[in-house]
Each structure stands twice: as C-alpha cells, then as structure tokens.
C-alpha cells in the first residue's frame, strides 16, 4: 500500500510547478487546514496538503498544525514549573527538544527550543560562559533551579495552602536541601504525575492566527527580559559590595556543593509520563524579570570562588 501517495501515476511536482506558498499563514489557510484535519485526520502531510487544496508543502502544513493550530497547543509564558522542568530535562538530554516537549503537555519542541535559545543561552552569554560549560550547568543546577523551587513554593503558598500546586511545591521543596535544609527527603517522583494537576485547553480561534495579529494577540505575554533573570534576585542584590554577597551566601554556597544535596540526587522525572496533566492553571504572571546585572556579576564572582 502506498500510504504516502508514492508511485502509480502520481507525479511529484517541484515547488515552483505547484506554485507553493511560503511565509506566514493566512487565516484562510489555517481554517482550511483545521477543517481538513477535523474531517480527514492528520498525517500523510504531502497528500493532505494537496487534497486540502493548500499551496503548501506537507512539511509546512505539519509544522503549522503541530506548532500552532493543534487544539491542545498551550500558549503564554513558560511557567516556573515548566522552566524548572526544561532545565532539568535539558541537563539530562541536551538539545532533544522533541523529547523534552513530550514532558511538557501542550508545549511544542519549537517553543521550548526558542525559550532555551532566547532566554537561557542569553544568560550564558551574560555570564561569559558557554551554555554547555560546567560552570553554566552548575549555575543552572545549583542556583537557578533551587531558586525556581523557592518561587514555585512561594507562589503556591500564596494562592492556596492545599492546592495541588501547594502540595507539589511542598513536596518539591522538601526534596531540596538547598531550599529546605534537608537531604533525607522524597524526590520529585514522590509527587509523581500529580505534581501539577490541571488541564490543558487552548482552543484554536481565527484570532490565534499569526497573520491575524502579532504574537502577543494570542496571549503570549512575553517578558522583555528573560524569565530566568529573576532567579538571582537575592536580597543582597542591591548591595554593590561583592564581599557582602559572599559573606551572606556562605551557607548557601556550601549547600550548593553539598554531596548530599537534592540536586545531587537529581529529580526523578523518569516517572513522569508524556501527556501528564501536570500544571495548575497556567501561571503566566510569574514568569517575569528577576535577575539584574548585579546578580549576574555576583553569581559569576561566586563561581569563580568555588
């Protein structure tokens, strides 16, 4: 069976011969694609593109559907929980965006990749270190991630003491001696799949089209500065004296390199299945700027002294 439409009398036309369109999708194209998939299903993208009457490559149709038109595509800021997960999974798998995306329901590999390149790599650049360097990985592992945990915990506590997010944050913080000062604690897996309860629902509307409006019209309220910049907003950040920072952070620094520390144990994300409904409500308001220049330099100084 030629499921891909190959062979037979079908001829493969060049893009020029087919007068294929490129560039941004129009609302009409979006609707055509959505309606076709609604009735015929997805897959076999090249034949789908032809049968639907779209002057696009199958590749383009697939990408548009997966990254934008799918009803379960989640839009808006990357939440703190998602940031934490991305950092952890990237440390484990590297640039395996698709694999990482499987653990963030509703997020696309493209979105995660963009997040990483625009936010995370920017900070590596600010720290004047390679994103793959040990220094930067340590920064992520021992500073950003614990700080994210703190913020998740704080956010959860502020909203509700018994919400799934609050419970999760409690469990998560309990597993981090950097935050809670305890090493003998349950790991992330203790929270398991219900670490973040909640539903993903972002229905497509014509307004969502990239051509109908700019990126911020579909709710992607992106912070002008990296989400991660907030991570180092320590109380001492206003103090320009590096000695003050180091003195104040002795205990913290010690815990960072504690062999029994939480992040030495690592997060047990392996127990998390793809498509797990793990976030609550979509906290899009918390992914904002946290990290100022002084903090960056403080961190740099700190690591050069470890």
Partner DNA sequence: AAACTACCCAACCGCTGATAC
Partner DNA sequence: TGTATCAGCGGTTGGGTAGTT
Which residues here bind DNA, judged by CB under 7 A? 1-7, 12, 21-25, 43-48, 56, 58-60, 62-64, 67-68, 95-99, 109-111, 113-115, 117-119, 122, 210-211, 213-216, 218, 220, 222-226
- For residue 68, the minimal CB distance to DNA (Å) is 5
- For residue 101, the minimal CB distance to DNA (Å) is 7
Q: CB-wise, 153 or 276, nearer to DNA?
A: 276
Q: CB-wise, 226 or 253, nearer to DNA?
A: 226
CA dihedral 25, 29, 35, 38 (to 10 degrees): -40
Structural contact between residues 146 and 176, judged by C-beta atoms closer than 8 angstroms: yes
CA 157 from chain centre, in angstroms, equals 22
Could you give the 3-state DSSP secondary structure of residue 240? Answer: coil
Q: CB-wise, 44 or 170, nearer to DNA?
A: 44
- For residue 275, the minimal CB distance to DNA (Å) is 14
How many angstroms separate the CA atoms of 201 and 199, rounded? 6
Phi, psi of 78 (to 5 degrees): -70, 120
CB-side neighbour CA atoms (13 Å) of 225: 12
- For the chain, the farthest-separated pair of C-alpha atoms sits apart, in whole angstroms, at 77
Q: CB-wise, 63 or 154, nearer to DNA?
A: 63
- For residue 177, the minimal CB distance to DNA (Å) is 31
Q: CB-wise, 38 or 51, nearer to DNA?
A: 51
- For residue 115, the minimal CB distance to DNA (Å) is 6
Q: CB-wise, 123 or 191, nearer to DNA?
A: 123
- For residue 288, the minimal CB distance to DNA (Å) is 11
Phi, psi of 284 (to 5 degrees): -90, -5
Work out the number of other CB atoms within 10 angstroms of the CB of residue 234: 20
């Amino acid at each position: 069976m030629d499921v891909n439409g190959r062979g037979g009398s079908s001829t493969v036309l060049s893009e020029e011969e087919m007068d294929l369109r490129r560039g941004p999708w129009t609302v009409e194209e979006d609707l055509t694609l959505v309606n076709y998939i609604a009735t015929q299903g997805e897959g076999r993208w090249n034949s789908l593109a032809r049968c639907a009457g779209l002057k696009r490559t199958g590749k383009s149709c697939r990408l548009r559907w997966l990254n934008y038109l799918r009803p379960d595509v989640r839009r808006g800021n990357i939440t703190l929980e998602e940031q934490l997960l991305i950092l952890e999974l990237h440390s484990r798998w590297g640039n395996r965006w698709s694999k990482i995306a499987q653990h963030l329901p509703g997020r696309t590999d493209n979105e995660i990749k963009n997040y990483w390149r625009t936010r995370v790599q920017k900070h590596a650049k600010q720290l004047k270190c390679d994103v793959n360097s040990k220094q930067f990985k340590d920064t992520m592992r021992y500073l950003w991630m614990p700080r994210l945990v703190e913020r998740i915990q704080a956010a959860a506590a502020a909203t509700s003491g018994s919400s799934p997010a609050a419970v999760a944050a409690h469990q998560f913080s309990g597993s981090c001696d950097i935050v809670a000062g305890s090493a003998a604690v349950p790991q992330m897996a203790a929270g398991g799949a219900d670490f973040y309860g909640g539903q993903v629902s972002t229905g497509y509307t014509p307004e969502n089209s990239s051509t109908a409006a700019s990126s911020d019209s579909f709710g992607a309220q992106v912070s002008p500065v990296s989400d991660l910049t907030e991570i180092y907003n320590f109380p001492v950040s206003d103090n320009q004296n590096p000695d003050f920072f180091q003195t104040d952070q002795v205990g913290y620094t010690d815990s960072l390199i504690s062999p029994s520390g939480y992040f030495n144990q690592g997060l047990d994300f392996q127990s998390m299945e793809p498509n797990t409904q793990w976030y609550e409500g979509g906290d899009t308001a918390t992914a904002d700027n946290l990290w100022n220049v002084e903090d960056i330099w403080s961190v740099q100084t700190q690591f050069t002294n470890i």
